[in-house]
């Protein structure tokens, strides 16, 4: 078994620049910068960061457990009845075009063959085929690179237009391309989405524009969870079969710092190949990872598409690294990967906070950002005619 000291942990592999979209300025520079960030004590989540993401994970847990109306009520949605449903439900492919999202070429053999990336054990261990979908392998994994820029215009020999020069019109208003990038793999047959390289429009404008974007300058369709949905639901006869969200080669600093703390606080000084270390949603470690920038992406997709996916939650998170190299060499920088396991919420764990908004003893229940609501059926008799529910509200 390959093991790597956490003190040698990096969140990007040395060959990662080969996977960066080099048509966008600063991508290679940023990749090289990330490579140099070996793990050290300053990269472990401090108490403030940890507690912030634990609380966020607890709130996301409650929103995932809730029925759509209850989740909408918790989110203070103004629709009647309230709903947590994304405005991009259905097939939003036309909206992707409207808001200037473009699909760029991907080297499927290099970037979507998980066996070549030494993750065969992990994929097969959770029941996923590890091969890419093109011949001759004909596997189940297809990679997509969705960019908020027209790559063809950046490469035009006669009149190249870089990111800030590319304009588009939506709803009668002119916008500027941001250079955002969502790079991911789909395995519809096995029920998985694998995030590979994600940079949202807000972050992208920090690099690609002279000044960061204001909210009014951003595309209306901009969240990763909505991009995921657009591709997950396309030509998918079984959209409810979403059971795994993978985070490949985590480079997000907050998520990496949370993962390191989760491992070390539980006595794990080494990151190991799959199955690695598992953290359940019931504890603060799992909740912190679910609340992380990486985990919250898929949580929001589950919350926003209950009608299509069913009432699902993230049951546990696995943190692991690659299989051993065939030549026995231990890489200097170890990659960190995560599997978020998605399941139907059991009936006894479903919550309906909206039904208890009038607390008979304490008046109206507060629903602010820091509110935590737990509701469960503890006893059911007479074929559901008599139900005893327990509701716990904590600030």
63-115 tens-digit pLDDT: 999 999 999 999 999 999 999 999 998 778 899 999 999 999 999 999 999 99
Q: Are strands 142-147 and 181-187 parallel, antiparallel or unpaired?
A: antiparallel
**Looking at the predicted structure, is the pLDDT value of residue 3 above 90?**
no
Domain ranges of the chain: 4-345, 349-395
State residue 262 phi and psi, 5-degree precision.
Answer: -60, -40
Phi-psi region of 374 (alpha: psi -120 to 50; beta: other; left: phi over 0): beta
Q: 48 falls in which pLDDT band (50, 70, 90)? A: very high
Phi-psi region of 179 (alpha: psi -120 to 50; beta: other; left: phi over 0): left
Give the per-residue pLDDT at 354. Answer: 57
**Looking at the predicted structure, is the pLDDT value of residue 378 above 70?**
no
Give the per-residue pLDDT at 127. Answer: 98
Helix or strand holding residue 11 (H, E): none
Please give the full DSSP string across 51-86, using - where no structure is assigned: HHHHHHHHHHHHHHHB-HHHHHHHTT--SSS-----
> What's the start-to-end Cα distance of the chain, in Å?
44
CA dihedral 262, 268, 271, 275 (to 10 degrees): -80
3-state class (DSSP) for residue 40: coil
State residue 138 phi and psi, 5-degree precision.
Answer: 50, 45
| Half-sphere exposure in the Cβ direction for 68 (13 Å, CA) | 17
3-state class (DSSP) for residue 124: helix
Neighbouring CB atoms inside 10 A of 182's CB total: 25
Q: Do 41 and 52 touch, CB atoms closer than 8 A?
A: no
Summarize pLDDT for 215-239 with one digit per residue, the tens. Answer: 999 999 999 999 999 999 999 999 9
Integer-rounded Cα radius of gyration of the chain: 22
Q: Could you tell me which residues come within 8 angstroms of residue 242 by beta carbon, excluding any fewer than 6 positions away?
A: 191, 192, 193, 232, 302, 309, 312, 342
Q: Do 100 and 219 touch, CB atoms closer than 8 A?
A: yes
Helices vs. strands in the chain: H and E counts, helices first:
13, 16
State the pTM of this model.
0.82
Summarize pLDDT for 277-336 with one digit per residue, the tens. Answer: 999 999 999 999 999 999 999 999 999 999 999 999 999 999 999 999 999 898 878 899
Q: Which of 57, 40, 56, 60 is nearest to 260 (CA)?
A: 40
Give the per-residue pLDDT at 374. Answer: 53
Q: Do 374 and 62 touch, CB atoms closer than 8 A?
A: yes
Q: Do 317 and 334 touch, CB atoms closer than 8 A?
A: no
Rounded CA separation 148/201 (Å): 8
Q: Do 314 and 298 touch, CB atoms closer than 8 A?
A: yes
Mean pLDDT of the chain: 84
Q: Do 212 and 162 touch, CB atoms closer than 8 A?
A: no
Rounded CA separation 173/41 (Å): 47
Rounded CA separation 345/78 (Å): 26
Give the per-residue pLDDT at 357. Answer: 52
């Amino acid at each position: 078994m390959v093991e790597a000291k956490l003190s040698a942990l990096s969140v990007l592999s040395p060959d990662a620049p080969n996977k960066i979209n080099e048509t966008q300025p600063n991508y290679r520079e940023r990749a090289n910068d990330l490579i140099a960030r070996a793990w050290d004590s300053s990269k472990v989540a401090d108490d403030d960061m940890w507690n912030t993401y634990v609380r966020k994970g607890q709130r996301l847990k409650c929103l995932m457990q809730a029925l759509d109306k209850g989740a909408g009520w918790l989110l203070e949605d103004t629709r009647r009845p309230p709903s947590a449903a994304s405005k991009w439900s259905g097939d939003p492919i036309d909206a992707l075009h409207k808001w200037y999202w473009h699909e760029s070429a991907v080297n499927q053999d290099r970037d979507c063959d998980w066996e070549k990336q030494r993750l065969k054990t992990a994929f097969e261990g959770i029941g996923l085929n590890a091969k890419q979908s093109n011949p001759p392998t004909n596997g189940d994994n297809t990679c997509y690179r969705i960019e908020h820029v027209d790559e063809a215009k950046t490469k035009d020999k006669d009149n190249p237009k870089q990111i800030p020069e590319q304009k588009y019109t939506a709803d009668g208003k002119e916008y500027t391309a941001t250079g955002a990038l969502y790079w991911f793999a789909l395995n519809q047959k096995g029920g998985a989405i694998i995030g590979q390289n994600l940079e949202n429009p807000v972050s992208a404008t920090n690099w690609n524009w002279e000044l960061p974007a204001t909210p009014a300058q951003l595309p209306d369709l901009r969240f990763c969870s909505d991009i995921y949905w657009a591709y997950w639901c396309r030509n998918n006869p079984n959209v409810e079969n979403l059971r795994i969200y993978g985070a490949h080669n985590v480079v997000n600093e907050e998520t990496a710092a949370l993962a390191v703390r989760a491992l070390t606080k539980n006595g794990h000084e080494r990151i190991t190949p799959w199955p690695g270390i598992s953290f359940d949603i019931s504890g603060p470690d799992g909740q912190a990872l679910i609340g992380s920038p990486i985990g919250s992406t898929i949580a929001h997709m589950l919350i926003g598409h209950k009608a299509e996916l069913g009432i699902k939650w993230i049951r546990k998170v696995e943190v692991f690294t690659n299989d051993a190299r065939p030549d026995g060499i231990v890489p200097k920088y170890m990659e960190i990967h995560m599997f978020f396991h998605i399941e139907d919420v059991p009936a006894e764990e479903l919550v309906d906070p909206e039904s208890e908004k009038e607390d008979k003893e304490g008046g109206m229940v507060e629903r602010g950002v820091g509110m935590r609501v737990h509701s469960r059926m503890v006893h059911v008799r007479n074929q559901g005619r008599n139900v005893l529910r327990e509701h716990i509200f904590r600030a």
